[in-house]
Structure 1
């Protein structure tokens, strides 16, 4: 970390002698339109993937808790995407969203809907990448929520049933409040992971970020600066901005959940 901070104030291509440049790297970063584009893409992809992932994971966890048979089979099936190679998954989803041979366009054609160039247009790229992220992480978060659900005392549900509370009221009055620490954990971990999205866009649309750089994330931008442009000082400045971004979003999530807990 310390070496990254020092390098951010220097100019270095990995071969020549380092040269102190002060705040030049940060000044250039603020004026770099590609950085702001990558930042916007990262936040949009984070929202498009994290929110559906956590909502769907919670629904699946509640359903899985009610399952009587094959519970362990479901758990294993949900967790498989999380341990599958990211590169393999990215190639798989690239084929699914392929223009001419993809399953998504095949389904659209069967419904009489014109096919889309998913990986050739800005929002198509974001949809493809976020879909892959949801598929990868929904099972992991489902098991986390399931563990939290199983830790809730059964007598609370029995008391709610005696009081005449329905399923919806029980969920919002007992289940969600009891799951708050678990939800906070998944939100923070999803935030950290979502803001560091790299492999998915790199494999699916390449180092350029695709059409209009709509798949360019801040980590992919960092990779280009460091390993394609060999501008390690600038890459260090980008790395520090990523670190600050993760801290900011994590602090916001923590403050929101802690504030609601104190209100209750």
Structure 2
């Protein structure tokens, strides 16, 4: 699904990472781990197209990401297929009600009102948010805001879901609820790419890991990681 070749990025003279090469297959559950400031969010934003690689390239479904983003039609198609949940979800919430928030994306796809209602109601049920559909998103709790923001991403029915620290600031109950939803999404074929510090909670879900440290990133499958006790000890500290 994604082909990453010799990827590198700098902020000024500071090298964030360099020479990252690996493949993300359809249906993978890829977990990005590493210390703060090691490049995880930068990498995620490059996949979404918000940042342009300074070295190397990213291809999606066999076509260079720059070409996907070059024309309005293909750019819109790409962002419908690849959705992102930011760590600060407040920047994603701008509608007057929860219903309108979740409905915004489907409406931009020119779906019928019946189809929009169906997608919104499916997402409300998935997150048990039906009782909040007429509430103002800005007035919700932190956990509720995160669920509404993710519901608005899922309403587009993306093939790839990018998640930047989706478990941070949640109660244990809401964290478990989100993990269950991630598992369900992956089981139906969605490709999940997630940043987290919660290795113990994600280890049963992730199929692959990209571990950032000191300007580099190691790609490991779940089996390969299990064969490296030192690396497990390292990611547990993140």
Q: Give the TM-score taking structure 2 as reference length.
A: 0.26
Write 1 or 2 for the structure with the bigger share of helix: 1
Write 1 or 2 for the structure with the bigger share of strand: 2
Bigger CA radius of gyration? 1
